[in-house]
């Protein structure tokens, strides 16, 4: 019985290969986009774990300075003498190359600390390592950067276990490279030796944790990526739902016959479930393979984004991980079951002869339409309530999900109302029929239109966010990068020599000094700025007390960036603890593209607090047209290395490049989602084309040509796409607002003003029309060219 039943059910797919193809394609694409994003996330997280495990950071407890500053090496010597089993370590970044330098002292390091490159050390290179002649780096880092040229006195040995853009060296070598002689950033503790006494007052004990800062920092980025992956998956599931729903609709007589022949409803449902499981596993396998391709294509941009935005080292190549193979298959099965649950439920509960009676099925459909409308309304209300009461990134995503899914669910009701109104208001018989027929097609097309709505709204939302971001960011760059040239010198004497030479040739020389520090418990930077009109006129302050620059210049106050203000929930008038004593906050400035906290003090205050930090970088103010000549003169006079002198345009181009790559992935996912929505429409239209002949044939018989009917069908699809696009516009703007005002603030720490770009909407309307036109073209052509005998079959049971 089971075998006969299953073969009867499966025979449907042999007779409708295109429908089968659409089902498999929809599910494969949905799985591909989801598992692709998961693969990227898994790769990045593995890289963070690798980065964290370098130096055994995730396994060894550390002593670090309380004020977040660096530690004098004499503490290490003193503690060793007191019997503390500590080992010095230094961790810093070379600003020019963004190369992370890890310095260790292998002789005192705990025995069970995992050291990348340790095998090499044990086999006789230890002396060379200790002598500062040998260092380790990942093979990709060695291949992709010109490290060997920059570090000519070091023999660089490849070490697979090291994260990208990281150099592991002896502590002395690292101190020399980082220009931090005599200083360390942490003292690593040997877990086999208990602490001989209380932790000194100026130090704090940091326990080993598997959750490293990089993972926390990039969590928001990955959550964003996951959300887009899920959205693409949801749109794909719409195709699956549509294909399965139509397959159920077409097989109603078969269900009725099978039931009449004695197949119980439970067995029939189980058989359909088995059929769907087979299909989902096939599509899931294809989807996971495609997902690997998507991930491999997107990973270089993601790696560049994470590197540029967070300094997170992620390799640009992908490795196969079993967890997302399994996850991809599981999500395919879950997606299929979710997409088919409604059809299965209805089949299970309909009386034995009902499946063959269209009216019973239609009534069940009408009931679900009412439920759908109610669920949509409930989700929209939930989104509004969450917006008012919730907080945090998850609340932001809950609002987004409620808005998108709620709006998608009520779309069919809106379209039905609009077409009903249009039908009532129209005069001509053909126009009346057109609208009435359009309304009748809505149940079959609604899922595809919902998918289109989601894709378009996401495009409007993300497009508005990116364009708002770009517009604000470009203006912000103009304010922030006011100096015409930026100079980086190699040492203090060179700095003195060059600035002396420059002084009569430029309007102003603005020293830029910075130190890494812990600000309100988070690693960040403190900058020192000169008292100059450049800052007074241009600095992008979001909020400030009157006379803020006077307070900064006199060393009585500090400026903080928006990220620090939001994360630590501090503002003007609050006090910010800093190495050397707290200062009141006098202003908050926008600091786009930087995920870390930042503070600015006056140059004299900076020099007093950090006397060891010499100004090596300078902003040069001079007439803009004089900058190229001065740059040439500087180069020829001082033989500056590459990268030492950057003009304003160069920095802006670099910053915009990082910005663009940040949104490459979301743009790519957006386009893929729109493509999937177009495919959903195509799948629905091509399937509807077959079952819709009985509705069209009488009109054809009464004197409308097939070509005209096809043109009307094409026009109908375009009109529905336009109506959907109109509905997507307010939804997309709401989405953009939530992204800018809620999600981005949580994810990146800054808030941007919402700006409107109507030209982009027109382009998107064009894209929606193109997608709908493309989807409707083949079914319309098929109708126009269909042999009359196909239409005649509608009228005759006999020949």
Partner 1 sequence: MLLTVNDLVKSYESTDGRIPVLAGVSLSLAAGQSVALTGESGSGKSTLLHLAAGLDPDFGGQILLAGQSLADLDDAGRAALRRGTVGLVFQQFNLIPSLDVAANLAFHARLTGRHDAAWTAQLAEDLGLNHLLSRYPEQLSGGQQQRVAIGRTLAARPRLVLADEPTGNLDEATGDAVLDLMLGLVAQTGTALLLVTHSTRLAARLDRTAHLRAGKIVS
Helix, strand, or coil (residue 252): helix
Between strands 183-184 and 203-206, the pairing is: unpaired
DSSP assignment of 220-243 equals HHHHHHHHHHHHHHHHHHHHHHHH
Phi, psi of 455 (to 5 degrees): -65, -45
Told to check if 703 binds partner 1 by CB under 8 A, we report: yes
Of the candidate spans 173-181, 300-308, 464-472, 695-703, the one that interacts with partner 1 by CB under 8 A turns out to be 695-703
Closer residue to partner 1, CB minimum distance, 702 or 759: 702
CB of 797 to partner 1, least distance (A): 6
CB of 238 to partner 1, least distance (A): 24
Distance of alpha carbon 339 from its chain centroid, rounded? Answer: 26
Closer residue to partner 1, CB minimum distance, 367 or 763: 367
Q: For 646, how many CA atoms within 13 A lie in the half-sphere containing its CB?
A: 19
Closer residue to partner 1, CB minimum distance, 206 or 704: 704
CB of 711 to partner 1, least distance (A): 13
Among 10, 699, 777, 778, binds partner 1 (CB under 8 A): 699
- Among 411, 331, 333, 422, which residue's Cα sits nearest to residue 376? 411
Closer residue to partner 1, CB minimum distance, 128 or 442: 442
CB of 368 to partner 1, least distance (A): 17
Q: 117: which residues sit within 8 A by CB, 6+ positions away? A: 136, 157, 159, 161, 162, 168
2-5 long-range contacts (CB < 8 A, ≥24 apart) are 2/267, 2/271, 5/258, 5/263, 5/267, 5/268, 5/271
Angle (nearest 5°) at CA 235 between 765 and 379:
95
CB of 715 to partner 1, least distance (A): 16
CB of 716 to partner 1, least distance (A): 12
In this structure, are residues 533 and 539 in contact, taking their beta carbons and an 8 Å threshold?
Answer: no
Closer residue to partner 1, CB minimum distance, 423 or 635: 423
Closer residue to partner 1, CB minimum distance, 66 or 792: 792
In this structure, are residues 556 and 583 in contact, taking their beta carbons and an 8 Å threshold?
Answer: yes
Angle (nearest 5°) at CA 119 between 153 and 311:
65
Closer residue to partner 1, CB minimum distance, 80 or 708: 708
CB of 432 to partner 1, least distance (A): 7
Phi-psi region of 521 (alpha: psi -120 to 50; beta: other; left: phi over 0): left
Closer residue to partner 1, CB minimum distance, 693 or 741: 693
Told to check if 290 binds partner 1 by CB under 8 A, we report: no
Among 701, 756, 762, 781, binds partner 1 (CB under 8 A): 701
Residues forming a β-bridge with 319? none
Among 60, 512, 513, 697, binds partner 1 (CB under 8 A): 697
Q: What is the footprint of partner 1 within residues 299-358 (CB under 8 A)?
A: 358
Closer residue to partner 1, CB minimum distance, 15 or 359: 359
CB of 430 to partner 1, least distance (A): 7
Q: For 76, how many CA atoms within 13 A lie in the half-sphere containing its CB?
A: 24
CB of 794 to partner 1, least distance (A): 7
Of the candidate spans 13-21, 228-236, 676-684, 698-706, the one that interacts with partner 1 by CB under 8 A turns out to be 698-706
Closer residue to partner 1, CB minimum distance, 139 or 351: 351
Of the candidate spans 327-335, 476-484, 550-558, 691-699, the one that interacts with partner 1 by CB under 8 A turns out to be 691-699
Q: How far apart are CA 555 and CA 606, in angstroms?
A: 8
Among 95, 707, 756, 762, binds partner 1 (CB under 8 A): 707
CB of 700 to partner 1, least distance (A): 8
- Among 230, 110, 14, 303, which residue's Cα sits nearest to residue 676? 230
Among 127, 260, 353, 362, binds partner 1 (CB under 8 A): 362
Residue in the block written with tokens 């130190």: 515
Number of residues that bind partner 1 (CB under 8 A): 35
Closer residue to partner 1, CB minimum distance, 216 or 707: 707
Residue 204 in tokens:
């704090």
CB of 788 to partner 1, least distance (A): 5
Q: How far apart are CA 184 and CA 68, in angstroms?
A: 12
CB of 250 to partner 1, least distance (A): 16
Q: What is the footprint of partner 1 within residues 437-456 (CB under 8 A)?
A: 437, 439-440
Told to check if 691 binds partner 1 by CB under 8 A, we report: no
Helix, strand, or coil (residue 482): coil
Helix axes 648-662, 429-480, angle to 10 degrees: 140
Q: How far apart are CA 104 and CA 115, in angstroms?
A: 10
Phi, psi of 116 (to 5 degrees): -60, 135
Told to check if 698 binds partner 1 by CB under 8 A, we report: yes
Q: How far apart are CA 271 and CA 3, in angstroms?
A: 9
Closer residue to partner 1, CB minimum distance, 254 or 699: 699
Among 11, 211, 695, 730, binds partner 1 (CB under 8 A): 695
Q: What is the footprint of partner 1 within residues 84-123 (CB under 8 A)?
A: none
Phi, psi of 167 (to 5 degrees): -120, 125
Closer residue to partner 1, CB minimum distance, 293 or 694: 694
Contact map string, positions 779 to 798, toward partner 1, x by CB under 8 A? ---------xx-xx-xxxxx
CB of 433 to partner 1, least distance (A): 6
Query: How many helices and strands, by DSSP H and E, does the chain display?
Result: 28, 20
Of the candidate spans 318-326, 582-590, 611-619, 705-713, the one that interacts with partner 1 by CB under 8 A turns out to be 705-713
Among 571, 581, 694, 730, binds partner 1 (CB under 8 A): 694
Closer residue to partner 1, CB minimum distance, 366 or 762: 366
Contact map string, positions 408 to 437, toward partner 1, x by CB under 8 A? ---------------------xx-xx--xx
Phi, psi of 175 (to 5 degrees): -60, -40
Closer residue to partner 1, CB minimum distance, 6 or 704: 704
Round the CA-based radius of gyration of the chain to a whole number and report it: 33
Residue in the block written with tokens 């016959």: 257
Told to check if 15 binds partner 1 by CB under 8 A, we report: no
CB of 260 to partner 1, least distance (A): 20
Q: End-to-end alpha-carbon separation of the chain, Å?
A: 35
Closer residue to partner 1, CB minimum distance, 432 or 479: 432
Residues forming a β-bridge with 515? 526
Q: How far apart are CA 395 and CA 401, in angstroms?
A: 10
CB of 245 to partner 1, least distance (A): 18
Exposure string over 596-615, b if 16+ CB within 10 A, otherwise e: bbbbbbbbebbbebbeeebb
Contact map string, positions 730 to 769, toward partner 1, x by CB under 8 A? ----------------------------------------
Closer residue to partner 1, CB minimum distance, 384 or 704: 704
Of the candidate spans 82-90, 123-131, 385-393, 694-702, the one that interacts with partner 1 by CB under 8 A turns out to be 694-702
Q: How far apart are CA 314 and CA 302, in angstroms?
A: 8
Closer residue to partner 1, CB minimum distance, 710 or 731: 710
Q: How far apart are CA 523 and CA 431, in angstroms?
A: 67
Q: 173: which residues sit within 8 A by CB, 6+ positions away? A: 103, 132, 135, 154
The residues binding partner 1 (CB under 8 A) are: 358-359, 362, 429-430, 432-433, 436-437, 439-440, 694-695, 697-708, 788-789, 791-792, 794-799
């Amino acid at each position: 019985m089971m075998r006969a039943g299953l073969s009867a059910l499966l025979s449907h797919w042999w007779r409708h290969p295109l429908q089968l193809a659409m089902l498999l394609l929809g599910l494969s694409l949905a799985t591909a986009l989801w598992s692709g994003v998961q693969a990227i996330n898994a790769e990045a997280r593995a890289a963070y774990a690798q980065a964290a495990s370098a130096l055994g950071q995730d396994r060894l407890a550390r002593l670090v300075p309380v004020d977040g500053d660096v530690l004098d090496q004499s503490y290490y010597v003193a503690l060793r003498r007191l019997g503390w089993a500590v080992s010095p370590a230094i961790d810093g970044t070379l600003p020019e190359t963004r190369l992370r330098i890890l310095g260790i002292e292998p002789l005192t390091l705990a025995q069970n600390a995992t050291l990348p490159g340790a095998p090499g050390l044990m086999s006789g290179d230890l002396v060379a390592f200790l002598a500062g002649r040998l260092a380790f780096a990942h093979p990709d880092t060695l291949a992709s950067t010109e490290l060997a040229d920059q570090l000519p006195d070091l023999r660089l040995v490849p070490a697979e276990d090291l994260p990208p853009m990281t150099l592991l060296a002896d502590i002395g070598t690292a101190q020399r490279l980082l220009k931090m002689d005599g200083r360390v950033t942490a003292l690593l503790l040997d877990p086999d030796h208990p602490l001989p006494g209380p932790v000194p007052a100026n130090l704090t004990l940091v326990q080993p944790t598997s959750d490293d800062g990089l993972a926390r920092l990039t969590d928001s980025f990955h959550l964003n990526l996951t959300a887009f992956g899920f959205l693409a998956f949801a749109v794909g599931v719409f195709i699956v739902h549509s294909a399965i729903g139509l397959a159920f609709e077409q097989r109603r007589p078969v269900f009725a016959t099978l039931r009449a022949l004695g197949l119980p409803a439970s067995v029939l449902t189980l058989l359909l479930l088995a059929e769907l499981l087979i299909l989902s596993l096939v599509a899931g396998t294809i989807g996971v393979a495609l997902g690997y391709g998507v991930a491999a294509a997107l990973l270089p941009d993601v790696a560049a984004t994470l590197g540029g935005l967070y300094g997170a080292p992620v390799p640009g190549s992908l490795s196969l991980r079993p967890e997302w193979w399994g996850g991809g298959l599981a999500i395919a099965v879950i997606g299929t079951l979710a997409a088919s649950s409604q059809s299965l439920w209805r089949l299970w509960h309909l009386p034995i002869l009902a499946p063959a009676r269209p009216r019973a099925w239609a009534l069940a459909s009408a009931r679900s339409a009412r439920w759908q409308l109610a669920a949509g309304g409930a989700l929209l209300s939930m989104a509004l309530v969450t917006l008012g009461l919730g907080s945090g990134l998850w609340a932001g995503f809950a609002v987004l999900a409620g808005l998108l899914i709620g709006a998608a669910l009520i779309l069919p009701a809106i379209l039905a109302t609009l077409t009903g109104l249009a039908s009532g208001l129209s005069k001509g018989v053909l126009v009346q029929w057109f609208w009435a027929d359009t309304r009748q097609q809505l149940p079959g097309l609604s899922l595809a239109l919902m998918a289109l709505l989601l894709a378009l709204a996401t495009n409007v939302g993300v497009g508005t966010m990116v364009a708002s971001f770009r517009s604000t960011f470009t203006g912000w760059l103009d304010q922030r990068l006011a100096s015409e040239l930026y100079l980086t010198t190699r040492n203090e004497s060179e700095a003195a020599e060059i600035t002396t030479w420059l002084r009569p040739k430029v309007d102003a020389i603005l020293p830029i000094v910075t130190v890494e520090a812990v600000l309100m418990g988070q690693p960040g930077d403190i900058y020192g700025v000169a008292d100059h009109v450049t800052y007074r006129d241009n600095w992008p302050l979001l909020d400030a007390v009157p006379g803020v620059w006077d307070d900064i210049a006199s060393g009585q106050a500090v400026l903080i960036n928006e990220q620090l203000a939001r994360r630590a929930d501090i503002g003007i008038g609050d006090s910010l603890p800093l190495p050397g004593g707290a200062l009141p906050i006098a202003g908050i400035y926008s600091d786009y593209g930087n995920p870390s906290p930042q503070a600015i003090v006056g140059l004299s205050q900076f020099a007093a607090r950090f006397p060891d930090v010499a100004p090596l970088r300078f902003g040069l103010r001079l007439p803009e047209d004089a900058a190229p000549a001065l740059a040439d003169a500087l180069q020829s006079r001082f033989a500056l290395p590459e990268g030492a002198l950057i003009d304003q345009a160069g920095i802006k181009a670099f910053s915009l490049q990082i910005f663009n790559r940040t949104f490459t992935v979301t743009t790519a996912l957006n386009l893929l989602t729109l493509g999937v929505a177009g495919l959903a429409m195509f799948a629905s239209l091509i399937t509807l084309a077959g079952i819709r002949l009985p509705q069209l044939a009488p009109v054809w018989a009464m004197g409308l040509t097939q070509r005209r009917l096809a043109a009307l069908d094409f026009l109908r699809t375009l009109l529905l796409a336009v109506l959907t696009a109109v509905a997507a516009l307010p939804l997309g703007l709401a989405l953009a607002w939530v992204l800018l005002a809620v999600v981005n603030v949580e994810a990146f720490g800054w808030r941007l003003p919402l700006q409107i770009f109507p030209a982009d909407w027109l382009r998107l309307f064009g894209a929606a029309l193109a997608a709908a036109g493309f989807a409707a073209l083949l079914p319309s052509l098929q109708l126009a060219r269909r042999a009359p005998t196909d239409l005649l079959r509608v009228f005759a049971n006999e020949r």
